[in-house]
Amino acid sequence: MPPLVKIRSERDQMSAIERRIADFILDNAHLLRDYSSQQLASALGISQSSVVKFAQKCGFKGYPDLKYSIGAAVARNGGGDEEQQPASVEDDDALHVIETLRRAKLESEEETGLLNPTPVLEHIAATLATAERIFVCGLGEDGLVAREFALKLSLLGLLTVQHADPVLMMANLATVGPRDVLLLFSEHGELPQLSQISRLFQDDGGRVVSVTRHTANPLRAHADASLAVSAHHAMPHIEQMLYRASVQYLLDVVFALLCHAYPERRGQLDINLERMHHMIHS
């Protein structure tokens, strides 16, 4: 597993000091080559031994081994100081742009896959398949993804209610039962209104599944289950593309697992697709 992916995936299980080290490394991976273990410890206000123990806990012989591995990974991904700058107009031809985006999407989806083990994906698929009702909520761009996935769940014959307005979602809370599931989409997981809905939904006995970035956030921390998305790039517009692609990849996996593990749902999907095809082409 790539070193940065390993650190991201294990962050939530780390101690407070270890999380401080992890966050610094994840936010400043391209600068780590300039830090000795003592300099990193001084920057974070911790002991040098804490830095060394962190490296060893992550599976490295010591801090130099950790620093070298991360430096090599950053170099491979074009993440050095100079490498992170956008290419010049002369170098930025169409083929280069296409190939760079293709590789970045593949790497992002691979990292996202590593962050979501198969048992977790199977559990979420089972949670959705056995739900009495599935409420789906997301705002802004997250709402567009939420709406599309809600439609796909409906085609499986699952009772799905999609909301793009948290106030209207609140109106449904009075009827929530223990077999209801709330699927919340929020890239950064920090919107207070969604966190409030999540807590109230759980208080009423429902279960919450979050879809957010892999970073620590309130929504992911308090969800009953979560899908974690990895998407990183020096250029913001590319990073946003990677996030959307990785979310879609995760949702496609969950949907495919639903079709595979529940033949009756797949049968209902086939019936609904045939009806739609007949309506469009009649």
All structural domains of the chain:
3-85 (1.10.10.10), 118-281 (3.40.50.10490)
pLDDT for the residue 82:
37
With beta carbons less than 8 A apart as the criterion, state whether 64 and 74 touch: no
pLDDT digits (tens, 9 = 90+) for 238-266: 899 999 999 999 999 999 999 999 999 99
Task: Work out the pLDDT band at 47, boundaries 50, 70, 90.
Answer: very high
Instruction: Count each helix (H run) and each strand (E run) in the chain, helices first.
Output: 13, 5
pLDDT for the residue 252:
97
pLDDT for the residue 78:
56
Across the range 217-237, mean pLDDT stands at 90
Tell me the helix, strand and coil percentages in the chain, rounded to 5. 65, 10, 25
Mean pLDDT of the residues in the chain:
88
**Nearest-angstrom CA–CA distance, 124 and 90:** 47
Extract long-range pairs of 117-123: CB within 8 Å, 24+ residues apart. Answer: 120/225, 121/227, 121/250, 121/253, 121/254, 121/257, 122/257, 122/261, 123/225
**Nearest-angstrom CA–CA distance, 201 and 248:** 25
**Nearest-angstrom CA–CA distance, 273 and 282:** 14
Q: Is the pLDDT of residue 182 over 90?
A: yes
First to last CA, the chain: 51
Percentage of the chain beyond pLDDT 70 is: 94
Tell me the sheet residues that pair with 133: 180
pLDDT digits (tens, 9 = 90+) for 11-32: 878 898 998 999 899 888 888 8
Task: Work out the pLDDT band at 115, boundaries 50, 70, 90.
Answer: confident
Q: Is the pLDDT of residue 34 over 50?
A: yes
With beta carbons less than 8 A apart as the criterion, state whether 201 and 217 touch: no
Task: Work out the pLDDT band at 77, boundaries 50, 70, 90.
Answer: low
Across the range 79-92, mean pLDDT stands at 44
**Nearest-angstrom CA–CA distance, 212 and 127:** 18
Q: Is the pLDDT of residue 149 over 90?
A: yes
DSSP 45-111: TS-HHHHHHHHHHTT-SSHHHHHHHHHHHHHHTT-STTTTSPPPTTT--HHHHHHHHHHHHHHHHHH
pLDDT for the residue 216:
82
Q: Which residue has the higher pLDDT, 170 or 81?
A: 170
Nearest to 186 by CA among 219, 147, 230, 208: 219
Q: Is the pLDDT of residue 142 over 50?
A: yes
Structure tokens at 161: 């209610």
Extract long-range pairs of 103-107: CB within 8 Å, 24+ residues apart. Answer: 104/233, 104/238, 104/242, 105/241, 105/242, 105/245, 107/77
HSE-CB for 254 with a 13 A CA cutoff? 27
Q: Is the pLDDT of residue 85 over 60?
A: no
Task: Work out the pLDDT band at 92, boundaries 50, 70, 90.
Answer: low
DSSP 134-158: EEEEE-THHHHHHHHHHHHHHHTT-
pLDDT for the residue 90:
47
Tell me the sheet residues that pair with 161: 135
